[in-house]
């Protein structure tokens, strides 16, 4: 009980989702009717700014962290995630 536990959480960026968050959904074209255009794939490569990794697995991990802290308040729980893992 006196040793802290590190909970490692890894999330991956989705460049398509980042582009949509930044630029919006150009034209609102349904997924099945979309055609990849060269200028759009180039903008994916240019995305180099820090992004939010608040993806479903991260959200679930944070909820579980809250539950662990509530169930076992005497133990130290460390949530380790990006950029801490790099």
Per the confidence metrics, is the pTM higher than 0.85?
no
Q: Is the peptide bond before 83 cis (omega within 30 degrees of 0)?
A: yes
Residue pLDDT, tens place only, 37-64: 554 444 444 444 455 667 788 889 999 9
**What's phi and psi for 30, nearest 5 deg?**
-60, 145
**Residue 63: helix, strand or coil by DSSP?**
helix
**What pairs with residue 80 in β-bridges?**
8
**What pairs with residue 77 in β-bridges?**
5
Residue pLDDT, tens place only, 12-40: 777 777 777 777 776 666 666 556 555 44
């Amino acid at each position: 009980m006196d040793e802290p536990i590190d909970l490692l959480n890894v999330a991956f960026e989705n460049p398509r989702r980042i582009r949509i968050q930044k630029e919006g959904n150009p034209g609102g074209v349904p997924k099945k009717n979309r055609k990849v255009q060269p200028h759009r794939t180039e903008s994916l490569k240019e995305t180099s700014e820090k992004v939010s990794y608040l993806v479903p697995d991260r959200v679930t991990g944070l909820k579980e962290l809250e539950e662990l802290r509530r169930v076992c308040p005497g133990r130290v729980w460390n949530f380790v995630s990006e950029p801490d893992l790099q």
